[in-house]
Amino acid sequence: MVQVLFMPDTANRVVRVKLKDGTYKEIQMDEDGFILNPADWCPEFVMAIAEEEGVSKLTDEHWKVINYLRDYYQTYDSCPPIRMLTKSTGFELKKIYELFPTGPAKGACRMAGAPKPTGCV
């Protein structure tokens, strides 16, 4: 179950996701849908926002990109350059756009729980 709540007096919103253990977690996002606190990320968050990103079913290929971006962000506190993303995942840029129709910065980084990139990804 997923609920999207809008925070009063801000453009921010909260996604309420049901975790595997049956409890609920509220995750705050900015006006563009990027997570405000990357430590709040969980796989259920990805599943909750996938359809917003044009992804009807998450595959192993999606998770390969998402996990790479998460690991990179946790190590370097930023998203990788697009060339590094394609080289490290083995996917051409065209494939990444097929997986994430809104693109690597908007879709993939958002689903990986990274904050909104300041430049191109």
Distance of alpha carbon 55 from its chain centroid, rounded? 12
Catalytically annotated residue among 42, 79, 109, 120: 120
* Annotation says 120 is catalytic: yes
Give the integer Cα–Cα distance in Å for 28 and 16: 9
- Kindly report the number of other CB atoms within 10 A of residue 7's CB atom: 11
Which residues belong to the active site?
A: 120
